[in-house]
Amino acid sequence: TQLLEQSPQFLSIQEGENLTVYCNSSSVFSSLQWYRQEPGEGPVLLVTVVTGGEVKKLKRLTFQFGDARKDSSLHITAAQPGDTGLYLCAGARSSGKLIFGQGTELSVKP
């Protein structure tokens, strides 16, 4: 059973386009974390959202946590080839254990 549904799983866009990745669950999490992973490396944390309705911005990336703390989205404005990579959302349990979505493989073509 996949507790965290992430979509889309694959996304190929042109440089300059905008995109949104969604992460949905029927469970409530202590926090929702977004990671980015490059080939051959471990995931690197981008942001943690904790409060329902919270919005955080990281340059061209905007992260939102749903009011009920069950879902989240990542929006990238004017994507660049350097944004290419695997994006992972993860819901945190109170123990800190992370439940990961399937990941979104993003390819931004120049």
Partner 1 sequence: GAGVSQSPSNKVTEKGKDVELRCDPISGHTALYWYRQSLGQGLEFLIYFQGNSAPDKSGLPSDRFSAERTGGSVSTLTIQRTQQEDSAVYLCASSTSGDRGNQPQHFGDGTRLSIL
- Where on the chain is the footprint of partner 1 (CB under 8 A)? 29-31, 33, 35, 40-45, 48, 50, 88, 90, 92-103
- Residue closer to partner 1 by CB (options 57, 93) is 93
CB of 100 to partner 1, least distance (A): 4
- What are the Cα distances from residue 40, in Å, to 18, 28, 63, 80, 90? 27, 31, 25, 21, 20
Q: Return phi, psi of residue 83, to 5°.
A: -80, -10
Q: What's the closest the beta carbon of residue 101 comes to partner 1, in angstroms?
A: 7
Pick between residue 74 and residue 90 the one whose CB is nearest to partner 1: 90
Q: Is the peptide bond before 8 cis (omega within 30 degrees of 0)?
A: yes
